[in-house]
Amino acid sequence: MDKTSSTGSWTSRLHVSSTVCRRLSARGLARSACALLLSCCAMLFVAMPLQAQSVTLQDGQLLRGQFEQKRYLNGLNNPVRSSGVFTLVAGRGLIWTTKKPFATTTIMTEAGLVQDVKGKETLRLAASKLPIMSKLYSMFGAALTGNWDAMQSAFALTRRQSGNAWTIHLESLRADDPNLPIKAINARGQKLLDEVEVVKTNDDRDVLTFSSQKLERGAPTPEEEELLTRAQR
């Protein structure tokens, strides 16, 4: 084999390898985004009697806070940790800013998902290409307006109250659904969510702990507005 042929072969392999890596990265981000979407929408559950209507995020309101995430993956002895801040804007979307171990910003809207690294857009995934995200966004969007029919079509919901504290357990009705690879969700909190665990069908799980949460009325900051507007294009 001549050098030109050999070089071409290696170039082709590198191209294929790079393409596969990008696809795997996109799939991994999509799975992460769905877990975050589940977790952050759950933050709007409040401590109320079991049969009461949940409080919903109203137009003109924002929910801000800090998070710490521990990801437990099969084959790893220790969890993968990350932390940062989030902003959930009523009717617009979620801005999830990871500060440690690496600085990234993920914006989720009805249009899909966008990721920024150091102010530069590195990934854009349309909701039409992410059936799971589209389904979850629609499902939790309905729940946030008080319509639980869509949620209960996919999960069996159990809620318990003890004083000011509450727990919620969501068990998947179809664990084999490829568009909803979530086995169970366990959440606990008081006025807002304190912690949520998302268990996937392969038994990997994400545990997110929330702190310094504030429900505010007002407009997003100029930077947040720019991120949301760009993500909704």
pLDDT in tens, 175-191: 777 777 788 888 888 77
Mean pLDDT of the chain: 74
Better-predicted residue by pLDDT, 120 or 37: 120
Domain count of the chain? 1
Domain that holds residue 62: 3-231
Work out the angle at residue 225's Cα, subtended by the Cα atoms of residues 122 and 216, and round it to the nearest 5 degrees: 125
C-alpha 121/C-alpha 105 separation (Å) is: 9
Residue 11 confidence (pLDDT) = 36
pLDDT for res 57: 65
Burial class of residue 63 (count of CB atoms within 10 Å of its CB; 0-12, 13-18, 19+): buried
Distance set, CA 160 to CA 51, 93, 167, 171 (Å):
10, 29, 5, 14
Distance CA 145, CA 164 (A): 23
The answer to whether 110 and 93 are in contact (CB under 8 A) is yes
Per-residue pLDDT reduced to its tens digit, 78-132: 999 999 998 988 888 889 999 999 899 988 888 888 889 988 898 888 877 777 7
Average pLDDT over residues 195-217: 88
The single-letter DSSP state of residue 120 is E
Per-residue model confidence (pLDDT) at position 126? 85
Buried b (16+ CB within 10 A) or exposed e, 203-217: ebbbbbebeebebee
pLDDT greater than 50 at residue 8: no
Residue 142 has what pLDDT?
62
CATH number at residue 145: 2.50.20.10
Specify the pLDDT at position 220.
93
Asked if residue 50 lies in contact with residue 142, where contact means CB atoms within 8 angstroms, the answer is no
Residue 149's H or E segment, with its range, is helix 149-152
- 229 has pLDDT over 70: yes
Q: Residue 226 above 60 pLDDT?
A: yes
More confident residue, 157 or 6: 157
**Is 206 within 8 Å of 81 (Cβ atoms)?**
no
What percentage of the chain exceeds 70 in pLDDT?
A: 67
Angle of helix 131-144 relative to helix 3-42, nearest 10 degrees, comes to 10
